[in-house]
């Protein structure tokens, strides 16, 4: 029948690894049989049914359009018995010598478990110069490096977990998810455009980092959990000069440093030894949490790379940190940092620190619309030489000062709209400080207001019969100075006589002497325009006095 022919056609597209194996018991060596099955599966799917498969070395997938599918993570299990060996390696035949890609390959539905680990090499899955590749529904246990991506582009890693609980010494650079460049002839190929979603990575302090990024352009991590790296949860560490890391973003990722015996840094970008290396377009975004860096010296985000451009922390919660929530001490003139719409809570628990440290100087920073709770020492500590800075719209309900500042600014530092005027600062910065509640610094522009009022006229203190065709007043207050505009058009001056006063100004003058005013009067009778008029605000009143000047 047509249905049977369709089934037969589909079955021809699937190769079962069991057809190449005589024994599947978890210890008998299945390496050669599985490799033979891979070679036979060109352009098709290689299926691993339920079972425990033992391999003693590396399995190579060197052709396009091969997908390896297991019955499910935890159902189909591949045990790796050779110390330091990769398990599944996807790579074109000419990898390392030409820029050729291996196309349309993937692996899913398996658990890969390392039985012994004595070296820092060996990946559960490795993609080398692959194009449009995918990994999903995978569990990788105790691999020295769980998943490694060398160059390539258009990758998708989803619904996977990598764990390490064995006793391997955590060597610098080792990670359970590692993005590296691929050496191609005389050049290098960075990792391009990889989506990483729905993941869980925990190293139990047996690997240097959970995620290590060496050379990449366009990585996005969504819906994940990272825990307990030896040094960092996420690290950026280049392997050569003139490489770069760009376009990296995190959304809805919980980075858990675990506590006093856990990870030192949530995100760690140390100063590299390569002058030509740079990091730009790195964003920790909405829904992320970095917390529990309670080891002595623990820091949420530590930034030391001098070529750090456009690093932003947006909509993130940073909680329970021994020292600084964010410590940006790069010493690079290129440094640009933005922190906005974040919540910082319980910073500087170990003493002498606080929420954000901006040390050594850089290009510019913007700290806007954040909330600070339970901050020790200081909310923002700024030093070094910066081109410009902005601290605006922040809410600080801790007792720590908003700003402890010894920085110098080539252009300006602007502070505006912050809720706490609890500010300690030096005299070295220049710029504008406006709209900060309760600030007592004499350099601060601490009040700006626009409004209207209704002025009036009296003669000899009386206003009998006075009517107005126009009776308008507006004012602008800037600090201690008030600019007033008054329009009074009398339709009847009434019957009161005597000295003329303009009353009901929006503020009372707080000084013991009168303040002069500029005055223009028109339309009065008895040739008053031929005489001189002057006016002043009477001391300790809200009243303008108008005086006619003549010889007497």
Dump the DSSP string for 196-227: EEEEEEE-TTSSSEEEEESSEEEEEEEEEEEE
Q: Is the pLDDT of residue 435 over 80?
A: no
Weakest mean pLDDT among 286-295, 346-355, 521-530 = 521-530
The pLDDT value recorded for residue 522 is: 56
CA atoms within 13 A on the CB side of 496: 17
pLDDT tens profile 64-97: 999 999 999 999 999 999 999 999 999 999 888 8
For residue 209, the model assigns a pLDDT of: 97
**pLDDT at position 215:** 94
Token digits for 247? 């376009």
Q: Would you say residue 340 has pLDDT above 60?
A: yes
Q: What is the pLDDT of residue 5?
A: 41
- What's the distance, CA 61 to chain centroid? 38
Residue 187 pLDDT: 73
pLDDT for the residue 359: 87
65's CB contacts (< 8 A; 6+ apart) are: 42, 43, 44, 103, 104, 105
CA 217/CA 220 separation, integer angstroms: 10
Q: What is the pLDDT of residue 118?
A: 85
Q: Which is higher by pLDDT, 544 or 533?
A: 544
* Four-CA torsion 314, 318, 321, 326, nearest 10 degrees: 10
Q: CA separation (Å) from 546 to 494, 501, 521, 529? A: 18, 6, 10, 14
Q: Mean pLDDT across the chain, nearest whole number? A: 89
CB contact set of 418 (below 8 Å; sequence gap of 6+): 391, 392, 393, 394, 395, 396, 402, 435, 436, 437
Q: What is the dihedral of CA 319, 322, 323, 328, to 10 degrees?
A: -50
The average pLDDT across 276-294 equals: 96
pLDDT tier for residue 26 given thresholds of 50, 70 and 90: very high
Strand partners, 366: 338, 390
**Over the stretch 472-525, which tens digit does the pLDDT of each residue have?**
999 999 888 889 999 999 999 999 999 889 999 999 887 777 777 766 665 555
Give the pLDDT score at 426.
47
Least confident of 229-243, 345-359, 435-449: 435-449
- Residue 416 confidence (pLDDT): 79
98 vs 302 pLDDT, higher one: 302
Q: What angle do CA 10, 11, 15 make, to 5 degrees?
A: 125
The whole-model pTM stands at 0.81
Say what the pLDDT of residue 429 is: 47
- The predicted model gives 401-412 an average pLDDT of 81
Check whether 341 has a pLDDT greater than 90.
Answer: yes
Percentage, residues of the chain above pLDDT 70: 89
With 80 as the cut, is the pLDDT of residue 380 above it?
A: yes
Instruction: Supply 461's token pair.
Output: 């203190």
DSSP secondary structure letters along 38-86: HHHTTTSEEEE-SEEEEE-S-EEE-SSS-EEEES-TTTEEEEE-STT--
**Strand extents, DSSP E, 323-465:** 326-328, 336-340, 343-347, 354-358, 361-368, 371-375, 378-382, 385-392, 395-396, 403-405, 408-416, 424-425, 433-434, 448-453, 456-459
pLDDT of 3 above 80: no
Q: Looking at 93-97, 121-125, 140-144, 484-488, which range is the least confident one?
A: 93-97
User: How many whole angstroms separate alpha carbon 280 and alpha carbon 494?
Assistant: 74
In this prediction, residues 92-113 reach a mean pLDDT of 92
Quickly state the pLDDT bin for 245 (edges 50, 70, 90): very high
> Which pLDDT band, with edges at 50, 70 and 90, does 443 fall under?
low
């Amino acid at each position: 029948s047509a249905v049977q022919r369709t089934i037969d056609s589909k079955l021809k597209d699937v190769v079962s690894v069991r057809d190449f194996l005589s024994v599947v018991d978890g210890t008998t060596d299945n390496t050669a049989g599985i490799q033979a099955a891979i070679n036979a599966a060109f352009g098709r799917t290689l299926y691993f049914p339920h079972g425990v498969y033992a391999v003693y070395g590396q399995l190579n997938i060197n052709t396009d359009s091969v997908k390896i599918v297991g019955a499910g993570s935890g159902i189909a299990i591949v045990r790796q018995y050779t110390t330091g060996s990769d398990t599944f390696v996807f790579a074109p035949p000419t990898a390392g010598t030409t820029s050729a890609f291996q196309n349309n390959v993937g692996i899913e539905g398996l658990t890969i478990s390392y039985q012994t680990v004595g070296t820092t090499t060996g990946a559960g899955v490795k993609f080398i110069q692959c194009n449009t590749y995918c990994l999903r529904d995978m569990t990788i246990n105790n691999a020295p490096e769980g998943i490694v991506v060398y160059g390539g582009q258009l990758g998708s890693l989803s619904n996977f977990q990598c764990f390490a609980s064995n006793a391997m010494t955590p060597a610098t650079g080792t990670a359970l998810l590692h993005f590296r460049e691929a050496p191609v002839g005389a050049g290098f190929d960075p990792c391009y455009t990889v989506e990483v979603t729905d993941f869980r990575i925990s190293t139990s302090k047996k690997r240097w980092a959970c995620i290590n990024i060496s050379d990449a352009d366009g990585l996005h991590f969504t819906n994940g959990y990272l825990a307990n790296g030896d040094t960092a949860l996420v690290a950026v560490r280049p392997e050569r000069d003139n490489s770069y890391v760009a376009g990296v973003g995190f959304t809805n990722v919980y980075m858990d440093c675990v506590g006093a015996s856990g990870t030192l840094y949530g995100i760690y970008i140390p100063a590299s030894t390569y002058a030509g290396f740079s990091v730009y377009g790195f964003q920790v975004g909405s829904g992320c949490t970095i917390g529990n860096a309670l080891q002595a010296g623990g820091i949420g985000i530590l930034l030391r790379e001098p070529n750090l451009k456009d690093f932003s922390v947006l909509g993130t919660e940073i909680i329970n940190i021994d020292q600084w929530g964010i410590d940006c001490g790069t010493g690079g003139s290129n440094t640009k940092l933005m922190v906005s719409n974040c919540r910082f809570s319980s910073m500087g628990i170990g003493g002498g620190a606080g929420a954000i440290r901006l040390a050594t100087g850089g290009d510019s920073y913007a700290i806007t619309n954040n909330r600070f709770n339970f901050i020790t020492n200081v909310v923002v500590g700024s030093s070094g030489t910066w081109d410009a800075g902005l601290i605006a719209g922040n809410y600080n309900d801790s007792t720590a000062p908003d700003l402890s500042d010894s920085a110098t600014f080539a252009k300006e530092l602007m502070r505006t709209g912050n809720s706490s005027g609890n500010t300690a600062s030096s005299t070295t910065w220049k710029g504008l400080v406006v709209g900060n509640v309760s600030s007592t610094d004499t350099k601060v522009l601490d009040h700006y207001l626009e409004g209207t009022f209704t002025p009036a006229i009296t003669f000899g203190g009386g206003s009998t019969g006075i009517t107005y065709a126009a009776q308008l007043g507006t004012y602008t207050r800037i600090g201690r100075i008030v600019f007033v505009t008054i329009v009074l058009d009398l339709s009847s001056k009434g019957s009161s006589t005597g000295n003329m006063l303009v009353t009901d100004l929006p503020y009372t003058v707080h000084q013991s002497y009168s303040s002069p005013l500029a005055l223009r009067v028109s339309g009065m009778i008895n040739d008053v325009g031929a005489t001189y008029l002057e006016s002043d605000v009477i001391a300790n009143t809200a009243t303008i006095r108008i005086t006619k000047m003549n010889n007497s």
